[in-house]
Amino acid sequence: MDGTWQHTTVLLNEAVEALVTKPDGNYVDATFGRGGHSRLILSQLEPQGRLVAFDKDPEAVAVGNAIEDPRFEIRHQGFAALRELQAGSLTGILMDLGVSSPQIDNPARGFSFRSDGPLDMRMDPTRGTSAADWLATASVEQMAEVIRDYGEERFASQIAKAVAARRQAHGPLATTAQLAQLVAGAVRTREAGQDPATRTFQALRIFVNAELEELQQALEASLNVLHPLGRLVVISFHSLEDRIVKQFIAKHSRDEVDRRAPFAAPKPMKLKAVERVKPTAQEIAANPRSRSAIMRVAERTQA
């Protein structure tokens, strides 16, 4: 593991305890990060067990490639690639959503408003469009929509107009400090203890990485690749993610009635909600970044 940017895994023991129901099963760590969950999963598996990890970040993949264990492999892919796995082949899937501490803490990655760096925000800096490149060409309407919808920012229009005015007067934004300063000037009030740029940076990160779309794709894929009684464990860090996970589990935890054929037998439910877990006060005290985490656990039914 790289020594400069460390990561403390949130809900480590709780997640692995909920996930690993069969020591000889096949598991997926859909968001490897720095491998905290993966290493504990491997410690619980018998020789026949298998673990596949996914991550978009080349730095995370490099950490994963250093794990010498014949039961483990890591793939440089987003977790929507779950759909490529064999139907009914998995005993459990773990999704630890959001951004890792090494990504936030390294200014070169462009995720943080606290340290100046290039305005990038891509989980995989080898592909896709950076936040700076998108902000350089997006319309005021497009920027306002992204900041409002993904950041739940009530001053989205003011921020978008400020970006456009700055672009016209001085050229495109290039660094995180430039964006944070601009947002601070456009946001009139903010919750106590929250930086004015928090919601805007969250929105741009989610948008640039298509995080919510990929989450929806991965959740749908999980229904196909989990075998009966297989576990789905998802850790979310903000309301948009958790809402998607909560609604997905709720939708598939009830029999589905086709309203076009009211007399037909309903399709049986595909999931059973198992539990909802939040970090303890002790974990939050030791790792303040865990305070917003919510873990939801569901089990694939026999249907």
Q: List, for residues 38-89, the tens digit of each pLDDT value.
A: 999 999 999 999 999 999 999 999 999 999 999 999 999 999 999 999 999 9
Reported as a single tens digit per residue, the pLDDT across 182-223 is 999 999 777 776 889 999 999 999 999 999 999 999 999 999
Model pTM score: 0.90
Q: For 229-238, write each residue's pLDDT tens digit.
A: 999 999 999 9
User: Which residues fall within 8 angstroms of residue 99, CB to CB, at 6 or more apart?
Assistant: 111, 123, 205
pLDDT at 234: 98
Per-residue pLDDT at 76: 97
Contacts of 255 by beta carbon, 8 Å cutoff, 6+ apart: 266, 267, 268, 269
What residue ranges do the domains of the chain occupy? 12-101+211-300, 124-208
pLDDT digits (tens, 9 = 90+) for 157-179: 999 999 999 999 999 999 999 99
What is the fold, at CATH topology level, of the domain defined by 124-208?
DNA polymerase; domain 1 (1.10.150)
Q: Buried (b) or exposed (e) across 36-67, using 16+ Cβ within 10 A?
A: bbbbbbbebbeeebbbbbbbbbebbbebbeeb
Higher pLDDT, 106 or 227: 227
pLDDT at residue 264, rounded to an integer: 58
Residue whose entry in the numeric block shows the structure tokens 């139907």? 87
Choice between 284 and 267, residue whose per-residue pLDDT is larger: 284
Looking at the structure, give the CATH architecture of the domain made up of residues 12-101+211-300. 3-Layer(aba) Sandwich (3.40)
